[in-house]
Structure 1
Amino acid sequence: MAVQVNNDMQQSRLNLLQNSPFRTEDVLSLSVANDFVGHPFKPLRSSKYIRLSDIEIPGQSESLTVAQWNCHLNSNHHEVTRLLDLYKNKVEVLGICESFVTQDTFLSSQFFPGYKLVSKSRSSMRGGGLTFLLANSLDYVIRDDLTLWNERKLETLSIEIELEKNRKFIISLVYRPPSANPDEFFGEFDGFLQRMSSTKLQCIFLGDFNFDLLNLEGVNLDFFNLILSHNLYPAVSIPTRITDHSATLIDNIFLSSDAIVECCADVVLHPGSDHLPVFCTIKRFGCKHKTTTKLQFRMMKAENLRKFKDKISTVSWQEVMAEKEDPLTAFDKFMNILSPIYDQCCPLKTATKKKNQPRKPWITEEILEMMKKRDQLFSDYLNCDSWEEYRKARNRVNSARRAAMREYFGEKLKSQKGDIRGTWLTIKSVLGNGKDSASTEQLAIGERTVSGRQEVSEEFCKFFTKIGSQINQEAKDQSGQLDTEQFDDNRGLHHSFYFTECTIDDITQAVKSIKSNAAGVDGLNIKAFKAVAAYLLPVILYLVNLSVQKGVS
């Protein structure tokens, strides 16, 4: 329990922290790393002690700093203010257990610049009470429906905060009186945790639980097992209450392991109370909801294509055709003219891909009802061990689903008799497409590395278009003439092939034969390309023939 202190008592506590047999250097040996061998206790990160002069200011980027302290807020408000000042008011949530704040207490937000007070006090007993100090910048809602108040067993105060859009948390401040019956507390607290879990929001619990997690025996172990059963893990791993004869870990912050990816918890060596304040900075958060996929697409409306066509019709390609030696340089000039017009007329937009999963066509209403019954029996099994009934329902659902799937595809294949394409599409939908989405992002060429889809593509083009000229060079004798003796009758020149210059008709037919609308590495959509193809044919013909002449593609 917290005790009211004066200056002399604060100094004696400071001396105790510095000179007791449980001073900082020795108390580290009581941490989880050494004393919890054989126990399942694995905090999210090993804690450390921080002196007031060594306090580190929490970072700004996507972090949340919460703290808990058991102290009398009415008489120690100046110490709390000093502590928050040392953290430069970067602490968003500070929970005070046994705050002794009552309706008659003259204490308001003016004592804590930058913070608002949310308190709940006892009505029939002295002492106790819970108080939140919340940063003014924090959006919060008091969750009375998640506040459990039994002054002899368990006191809780819950708030819901929103850090950013669709990023909500519930933070609960908890105090268990040391005289509370452990079994009665376990029953109340277990029900409370189930209610919190039903909100589907990520939860953080902080408070004074009066169970020593450095002594995992008896009721302490029962409490720890209860916490673990709700997928909660402690952030603090070192003693938070140090006296001249004991060092116990009874103040803690519990976090959901699947919600919190990275955090660090520090215990501040402060003489203001017989409990030490605990600070936890949650640096990164996991994500329970499904991530959305961003898609980029071009605006290909008739109006956009018309503007694109009008602008391309006025473009002069003389600069491109003036390049007589290097096809790649000519192509770069071509794209430098075309791309800005394309981006202006058909701008790139970003949209969120919806992940709506339609019901499989063979899942009937009858099967859906069977699934609901199966799910209900599974819930009953978790509560009263009715495994056999659940197993039978599960097997019935699986059998019905497989039979319905066979019947559906059987009828579909019958209806597609004589339709080879439709039959193979149906078979493919059953077997899956088997495609591997992996792509070559890097290419090692000698001692250098090429990265990027377009750069890798260009390197492949260079290799395959130059390999012919390299073989031709190797086939020449020293006089520069082709050594025809290396070709025998079976591998003569009649097996060779030659490129001839293309014509406008060749390019026109090639454009018409394109079936896909997918864009290439240059980002040019085929639909947009076909809309302006008539104006691009001369310059494309020039680029193709120059590439053939120079052996570059």
Structure 2
Amino acid sequence: MVGGDCGTPGNSRLKMLEASFVDFGSIFTEQLHRNYDIGIAGQYVSCNSKYLFKDGLRSGNGGDDSEDLRVFHLNCQGLNSSFNFISEICELSIFQVIGLTETWLNEHNSALLDIPGYIFYHRNRQFRQHGGIGAYIRSDIEVLVRSDLVLFHKMLFEPLILQLRLNPKDVYVVLPYRRPSGSIPAFFDILEEQLDKLPTGSHPFFMLGDFNIDLNDMNSNTPIDFLQLCMSYSLFHTINICTRVTTLTAKLLDNILSNSKFSDPGVIVTDVSDHFGISASFKVCFPRQQGSRLKMSMLPVLNQGNLEKFKQEISNVDWNNKVENLDDINISFQRFYDTLISILSKTCVVNRTRSRKKMPKKPWVSPGLLRCINKKDQLYRDSIRNENDPVCTRVYKNYRYALNKLLRNAKKKYFECKFKDASGNPAKTWKIIKSVISSTDPVLPDKVTTRDGLKSNEPCNALSEHFATIGARYSRTAVASDNDPPLEIFMGTSVDVSMYLRPVTHDEVRKIIFELKSSSAGSDSINLLVLKAVFPSISHILTSFINACFKQGKFPNCLKIARITPVIKGGNKNDLGNYRPISLLPVISRVLEKYINIRIYEHLERHKLLHTNQASKLWNKLCMDIQEIGSLDQFKSDLRVELLGRYAFETD
């Protein structure tokens, strides 16, 4: 069992609900064997679900070596209100797939619900309020959104179909939601048509959601018809106890159906919604994939032990044999680069282990508030066990109301103090804002519109072509103003001295490297900490490489490779013009660029080639002190203010 069961005494309503459904399960299993000649039906239908609590899930094994695909679903009735609970479920690192129905999201708030370690895929309801489906998929799994397979009916059926790129076969995950007021026969027709389009017989397949069909209803044929329809596509239900329990009713509305063998089916009791969460483990036997997302999740683990191993391996390398000559800077630097990355991957990359901390990661939750949260959970369990006692229910609701108010005030005071401490420091302020937004890897739409108005089903290739050509296309359309002064005004006095890139010294290289502040790794996974750690062992060869680049007038090809992240600037996500690229170059590339910049600046400064109006290009100088300006009107004839437009920094 992934988590511990509720362990309630004999008068527990949950235990009674578990026992009450066993009869229906056995009756239905017997009817299936009688009506269908399916030899393996018993091992799927005779499931034994149990009620679990969230704290019992902490004992689950969510390690990376597991071959089980663990799936969770909740009808959250508003992701904004249940976001803290979903975040805590994600922090347990037990589930690879977390499906949600009735997210109640729109285009304005769906971008603010990212969770580190997971990527959020969603489909919002467009024609009216509420509804909506979403899924958090662990970020080391490559996912395709299969909108081409979706059959959508706004009054009956809202599906989200995801294709998980796993080995040995891709896994298909379908998250449907059926409106409770919709026609059930019409729903069966569209569900059958939808399943016809999906590879239920050739790939591992999971359908998890709120079907709004009570499988515990013994007075209707609808549950039998629904399960028979699913069984005709080799899909078997995993949950056989009630998932929506109130003081008056107990219904089984949510379920996970699959064609794979399952284990540990459970219903997670929670008070964030009137539906309980459901979970199960499936034997899909997928080894770790060697895709780009896996490389991103296997960045160097830079603890002291690994760094010492890395430094020791680098110090033992004979660079004279590795790099015989520097006649061709591209070949020689590529050998140096490959050696560095090979040793780094051997000594510093380990399987990532996931935290099992019981203390929540929210810094405003003090130990006292954590005890209050546990107390609230205990009161909720007592209110379920004693559903006939109105005092227990009233005590729980009053305590929950008071606790939610305390949590909101604690969070508000925490961020008030953080912003107060960051007053006057824009960088620190933006860091706090980004921590609140907690954005993760961007999720591109499955279709994008190019500048020419064409539709593309390959957003990555379309964005790459767009970023590579936008500068040239925009420069062709840019028209110079007649009021622009001639370029010669800003050129200054011409000189007959050519620019000379003076060789760098060992001390200069060391100074520049240790003055760099950005620690982000480029496409090579080498960050600044790694470079600083091994600098004593590679300082001589790195200095020789930089001087060879100056002498040959070449920039190594391997240092031109950047990791580009598209960032939405605003507006329609399907429009390529609304994205801007954020490029992360290798750290060594930044070092070489720094020296070229220094040498060019030295030449311009030595020969007085910089115009006085180019003060913004000079180091340690300000264009003007805005506090000294009384009115801008007096500067209209002399001052030209240029606004940074939509395409700033996108042209050469």
TM-score by length of 1: 0.45
Q: Whose strand proportion is higher, 1 or 2?
A: 1
TM-score by length of 2: 0.38
